[in-house]
Amino acid sequence: MPKRNYRQDVWGDEEDSDFGAAEQPFKALTREEAQALRAKEPPVSPWWVIAAQTGIAVVVAVLAWAITGRMEWLWSVLYGAAAVVVPGTLMARGMTSRLSSTSPGASAVSFMLWEFVKIGVAVVMLALAPQLVQPLSWPALLVGLVVCIKVYWVALLWRRPMKKS
């Protein structure tokens, strides 16, 4: 039986790739380098994001009411924002618990669990909107929802250090 030659590199040879020459071997950071990187790129506190979403939601709701003069716009914008803020708060609480940070595996499982909870609560809140907000303005609800979702992107621009608890 002839001996088969198997390629070790099934993804392509280094000389074939455009970036192969630019790749450098992985280098572990020293304690000082890690601290400097963390100071330069601080993590975003989930509680700061929740507070920013809440504040912006109130401002947008008041603006919607002032522009239209209709109270249903105020309540619809606030409810749309709540469909983002309430699930986000649940996830932030779950992800900042001690149990979530015991090990990398527990952290990954916790993230998936809380993400499912966040999605489920948001879907339920949106499904219940017509019964809870009377009269409901769907365009206003969507404005509140979208504005609060976009705060996640804005939060990345304004990185603030997390406080140690």
CA 133 to chain centre: 26
Unique residue bearing structure tokens 């979702």: 149
Q: Which of 47, 155, 159, 148 minimizes the C-alpha distance to 92?
A: 47
* pTM of the complete model beyond 0.75: no
Higher pLDDT, 156 or 12: 156
Q: Could you report the per-residue pLDDT of 57-113, keeping only the tens digit for each?
A: 999 999 999 999 999 999 999 999 999 999 999 999 988 888 777 788 888 888 899
Residue 134's pLDDT band (boundaries 50, 70, 90)? very high
Nearest to 43 by CA among 155, 160, 163: 160
pLDDT digits (tens, 9 = 90+) for 14-63: 555 555 555 667 788 888 988 888 788 777 788 989 999 999 999 999 99
- Across the range 126-141, mean pLDDT stands at 96
Exposure of 110 in the CB half-sphere (CA atoms within 13 A): 18
